[in-house]
């Protein structure tokens, strides 16, 4: 899980957005002393991520809320599984229901999709990476969900790793500077961080290798070209494949011998998992 203070802040913002403590329906129809139990029920197969965030949601409304987790984070489950039970004041359960489900459905969706990509390349040398294509404000949670699904986190932000992409290459060229100069300047300004250079054709590979980065990103290249890039690189840099990767193509990409495959869809296109919260007395 991300740091507790990060989770607390994200949950607080979500509850404020929903005006959970001002729930006009629940406050008018549910007695303050009524207690009950609600079950999180999976209505489709999936991989769990985010139950701790759901618990934090309820606890920020009422600290007496108790949650019994029946499926562990990162664990796969079939449709019909009761994932957890939350017990306490019914008002608090209903006030936090939608926010808790929003977190749980979306994070579990990312974990589930990640697990599918990881399974698709099983037995190859490649790992599945996420990207920075995350929901604003939810990056730490979404990258956590990727880990729950068996994926690997790429750079979290713009300061932990340098990546010279196509627009940076254009800017360097306009100033008459080479990729090697760009990499050297990065290392001079910020020693100790890894550097990645993006290329989109084999014609750019030699210049990228001459710049001596730790990583080279092969963007939207044909699998045959990726395989040739692996051969020509010969281990002098790690190779990442990216661009238009899906479950139908990822196995062939992994088969080229690249070290990693980044998939933006893990966080920008995972469909919310169907999970309900059913109240019992």
Residue 198 annotated as catalytic: yes
Catalytic residue among 56, 198, 240, 259: 198
β-bridge partners, 240: 217, 260
Catalytic residue among 165, 177, 187, 251: 165
Q: Give the pLDDT of residue 163.
A: 96
pLDDT digits (tens, 9 = 90+) for 80-131: 999 999 999 999 999 999 999 999 999 999 999 999 999 999 999 999 999 9
Q: Give the pLDDT of residue 281.
A: 74
Q: Kindly report the CATH class assigned to 119-268.
A: alpha beta
- Residue 74 makes CB contacts below 8 A (sequence gap 6+) with 47, 48, 49, 111, 147, 148, 149, 150
Angle at the Cα of 201 (from 195 to 207), degrees rounded to 5? 50
- Residue 212 makes CB contacts below 8 A (sequence gap 6+) with 180, 183, 236, 237
Residue 280 annotated as catalytic: no
Provide CATH 3.20.20.70 ranges for the chain: 119-268
Quote the CA–CA distance of 205 and 201 in Å, as a whole number: 7
Task: Locate 39 and state its tokens.
Answer: 């079950």
Task: Tell whether the model's pLDDT for residue 41 goes beyond 90.
Answer: yes
Sign of the CA dihedral with 206 first, then 207, 213, and 218 last: negative
Q: Give the pLDDT of residue 251.
A: 98
Task: Tell whether the model's pLDDT for residue 276 goes beyond 80.
Answer: yes
Give the pLDDT band of residue 215 (cuts 50, 70, 90).
very high
Provide CATH 3.90.1170.20 ranges for the chain: 4-113+271-280
pLDDT digits (tens, 9 = 90+) for 119-140: 999 999 999 999 999 999 999 9
Domain 4-113+271-280 has CATH 3.90.1170.20: yes
- Residue 142 makes CB contacts below 8 A (sequence gap 6+) with 106, 107, 110, 130, 134, 135, 267
pLDDT digits (tens, 9 = 90+) for 7-27: 999 999 999 999 999 999 999
pLDDT digits (tens, 9 = 90+) for 139-162: 999 999 999 999 999 999 999 999
Residue 157 annotated as catalytic: no
Quote the CA–CA distance of 36 and 255 in Å, as a whole number: 53
Q: Give the pLDDT of residue 1.
A: 85
Q: Give the pLDDT of residue 244.
A: 85
Residue 219 annotated as catalytic: yes
Residue 8 annotated as catalytic: no
Catalytic residue among 35, 39, 132, 133: 133
Task: Tell whether the model's pLDDT for residue 38 goes beyond 80.
Answer: yes
0.85 surpassed by pTM = yes
């Amino acid at each position: 899980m991300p740091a507790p203070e990060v989770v607390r802040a994200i949950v607080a913002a979500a509850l404020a957005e929903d005006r959970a403590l001002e729930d006009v329906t629940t406050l008018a129809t549910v007695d303050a002393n009524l207690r009950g139990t609600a079950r999180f029920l999976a209505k489709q197969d999936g991989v769990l991520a985010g139950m701790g965030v759901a618990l934090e949601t309820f606890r920020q409304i009422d600290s007496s809320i108790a949650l019994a987790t029946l499926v562990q984070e990162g664990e796969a489950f079939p449709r019909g599984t009761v994932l957890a039970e939350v017990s306490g004041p019914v008002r608090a359960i209903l006030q936090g229901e939608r926010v808790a489900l929003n977190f749980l459905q979306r994070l579990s969706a990312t974990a589930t999709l990640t697990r599918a990509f990881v399974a698709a390349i099983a037995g190859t040398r490649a790992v599945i990476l996420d990207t920075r294509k995350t929901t604003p404000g939810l990056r730490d949670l979404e990258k956590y969900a990727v880990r729950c699904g068996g994926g690997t986190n790429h750079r979290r932000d713009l300061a932990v790793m340098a990546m010279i992409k196509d627009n940076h290459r254009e800017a360097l060229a306009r100033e008459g500077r080479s990729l090697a100069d760009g990499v050297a300047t990065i290392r001079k300004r910020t020693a100790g961080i890894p550097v990645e250079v993006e290329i989109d054709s084999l014609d750019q590979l030699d210049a990228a290798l001459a710049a001596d980065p730790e990583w080279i990103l092969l963007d939207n290249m044909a699998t045959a070209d990726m395989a040739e890039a692996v051969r020509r690189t010969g281990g002098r840099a790690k190779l990442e494949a990216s661009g238009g990767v899906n479950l139908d193509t990822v196995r062939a990409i992994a088969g080229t011998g690249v070290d990693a495959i980044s998939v933006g869809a893990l966080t920008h296109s995972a469909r919310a998992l169907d999970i309900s919260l059913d109240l019992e007395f």
